[in-house]
Amino acid sequence: MKNRIILTLSLILMVVLGIYGQHWVSQTSTHQSKIQNSRMTPVIFVPGSSATVNRFDNLLSTINASGPAHSILKVKVNQNGELLYSGKINANDRQPFIVIGFQNNEDGYSNIKKQTEWLTSALYALQDRYHFRTFSAVGHSNGGLIWTNFFEKYFDSDVFSIPTLMTLGTPFNFSETSLQRRTEMLKDFIQSSNKLPSNLEMYSIAGTEDYTDDGIVPIQSVTAGKYIYQKKVKSYTQITVTGDNAQHSNLPDNPEVMKLIQTNIIAPLSRRDAH
């Protein structure tokens, strides 16, 4: 009698777990299916310190003016993690531009760590909303540091596929002019560089006004990125742009930089999409 009660209760437990389990499986499969079948491959931009989600406005409108128009979505992450969306993604746009900025956009390593957490939560929220898996990343100044920290600490290749990263004037060694003096952040990045995805193509763009810096970031600090990325990712390319528009804050508006983004970020993503 006791055994029959045990078996009956177990059967009821299995039925209950089966019903809830079935609900979980169907929800998960639908979500996975949407992501898997999504043909959207956005380019996600992260601005540097003190900059807002409008930092790339000139760059994006110039790109849109010179070719097929991409819809633009801006996401501001508040300090409490709340996401504020502006702009929209057109239903038939397979390659939208998304800019993710932060309410707390101050400089400093501890803040970069916080901004990386906010970036991660924004990426997951965007995936839930638009069901994309593949995207390319662009970071201006500290935005490149946030992406680097993201790749080393939060990136999950089962969730996202990121073929290309481009950093613009990113100070991998902050304002240090000598590579002999490595900041705590650079040391941490080098130490965790084994976690960088091996299939990533990385472009680090530096600007020089006077052969030493771009007005703010020393060229040595930008080139320190090689100690993090070189031989750890699929390819690491260091490009230096010079001239009038090579000042740190102007880098996103530099015509050379715009061409580099079109050639190395937008075009390869379009080809992937076509396949």
Partner 1 sequence: MLNHVVNTAQKLDHALIHRPAFQAISAAMQQSVPILAIDIYCRLFLKLAISPDALFVNIFNNYPITPDSITDRLRFIIQNLDIAVTMIFIIGLTYHYLTQKGIKNTTLPIVTNFIAIYALLFVKGQVLANNASHYLLITFLILLSSHSYYWYYNHLKIAASPFSLRYLLWSITIIAASLLLHFGLHLSRLTSIISNLLAQNFFTTFLGLLLIAILSPLLFIFGFSLPPELTSNQTSFNAMVSNLDKFLTHGSSALPFPENLYSIYGAFSLFGGVGNTLALNVLLLFVASKNYRRLGILSWIPSLFDNNYLLYAGLPLFFRPLILAPMILVNITSMLISYVAIAGHIVQPAIFITPNNLPNILLPTLASATPIRSTILAILIFSLSLLIYRPFIQRFMTEVTHEK
Residues forming contacts to partner 1 in the complex (CB under 8 A) are 2-3, 6-7, 10, 13-14, 17-18, 20-25, 28-29, 32-33, 36-37
The DSSP secondary-structure symbol of 207 reads E
CB of 3 to partner 1, least distance (A): 4
C-alpha 254/C-alpha 68 separation (Å) is 20
CB of 37 to partner 1, least distance (A): 6
List CB contacts of 252: < 8 A, sequence separation 6 or more: 55, 56, 58, 59, 140, 168
| Contact present, 60 and 6 (Cβ < 8 Å) | no
CB half-sphere exposure, 182, CA atoms < 13 A: 13
DSSP sequence for 148-204: HHHHHHT--TTT-B--EEEEES--TTTT-S-TTS--HHHHHHHHTGGGS-TT-EEEE
CB of 27 to partner 1, least distance (A): 10
CB of 198 to partner 1, least distance (A): 17
Query: With respect to partner 1, which residue has the nearer C-beta, 21 or 68?
Result: 21
Query: With respect to partner 1, which residue has the nearer C-beta, 2 or 231?
Result: 2
Query: With respect to partner 1, which residue has the nearer C-beta, 35 or 222?
Result: 35
Query: With respect to partner 1, which residue has the nearer C-beta, 38 or 249?
Result: 38
Token pair of 20, please? 């809830």
Under DSSP, is residue 39 helix (H, G, I), strand (E, B) or coil?
coil
Query: With respect to partner 1, which residue has the nearer C-beta, 32 or 178?
Result: 32
CB of 185 to partner 1, least distance (A): 26
Residue type, 122: A
Query: With respect to partner 1, which residue has the nearer C-beta, 106 or 273?
Result: 273
CB of 237 to partner 1, least distance (A): 31
**Alpha helix positions (H), the chain:** 2-37, 57-66, 109-130, 142-153, 184-191, 219-223, 225-229, 255-261, 267-274
